[in-house]
Amino acid sequence: CFRPHMVITSPFKLLAPAITALLLSSGAIADTVTLKNGDKVQGKIVRENDKEVVIEEQVSAGITDTRNIPRSDVAKIEKISEDEPAYQAIKNLKPGPNSLPATSYDQVTKSLNAFINNFGKSTHVAEVKEQLKTWEEEKKRVEAGEVKLDGKWLRKEEAEKERYQINGQIIFNHMQQQYRQGDLSGALNSFDQLERNFPGARTYPDAVEFAKQVVPRLKASADRALQNLKFQEAE
């Protein structure tokens, strides 16, 4: 029986990795200082006065550099609003093709409510409220016993009859989604859950073959991460 030797976490903690990835990607939202020679410097402006502009640049992953730019060299300064990075981190949080356990919806609604409470005057509030409504409505259906699979809702009675097979299919679908998103260790963790809890699922043989494709990619990714770490330590 194929079993990857991994540290296992629940596959239904689905939203934490997604939120983390979005938060990291929001680093692309930055203040911009345009110089008179046409160059642009992006980062976080930490201080400015009549003589200079001090900005923190992201040189590489985990490494920032503080740059002092003479005010006489500056043509234009564009600052992002305080709510923009927070909005970028949540704007793509939308229900997927498969429903989640009821408690998992709380992770998203908490993030959306936090934005609404912290940035009540943001131009994005109305859109975030619509997102929140969508998540809350889906949670109610799940609490009523319905299950969404590949975008199709199954009534409580249908879901109860096929509960075992549905759970196996949902985990396999999520495993494939994690793989497409580059979360290789998450994909293997999902496979382990499928193997331990639903080995009789119709999707299990396909999941075994899929897991065999994930392992070499994960090893290559780990090797690259190790090399990058050594390079950063050397710097």
Query: How far is the C-alpha of 99 from the C-alpha of 140, rounded, in Å?
Result: 11
Over residues 58-84, the pLDDT tens digits come to 776 667 789 999 999 999 998 888 888
Q: Is the dihedral of CA 33, 59, 45, 67 positive or negative?
A: negative
Which has more confidence, 166 or 10? 166
pLDDT of residue 14: 43
Q: What is the pLDDT of residues 16-41, one digit of tens each?
A: 444 444 443 444 567 899 999 999 99
Whole-number Cα distances in Å, 63 to 24, 122, 212: 14, 31, 35
In 3D space, the residue among 24, 44, 21, 6 whose CA is nearest the CA of residue 178 turns out to be 21
Q: Residue 183 forms beta bridges with which residues?
A: none
Arithmetic mean of pLDDT, 49-57: 92
Is the pLDDT at 57 greater than 90, yes or no? no
Cα atoms found within 13 Å of the Cα of residue 183, Cβ hemisphere only? 20
State the Cα–Cα distance between residues 154 and 170, nearest whole angstrom.
13
In tens, the pLDDT along 153-192 reads: 999 998 888 889 988 988 998 899 889 888 899 899 999 9
Predicted local confidence at residue 62, as pLDDT: 65
The predicted structure's pLDDT at residue 190 = 92
- Residue 61 has a pLDDT of 60
Give the lowest-confidence range in 48-52, 208-212, 219-223.
219-223
Res. 229 pLDDT band, cuts 50 70 90: confident
State yes or no: pLDDT of 105 exceeds 70.
yes
230 pLDDT exceeds 70?
A: yes
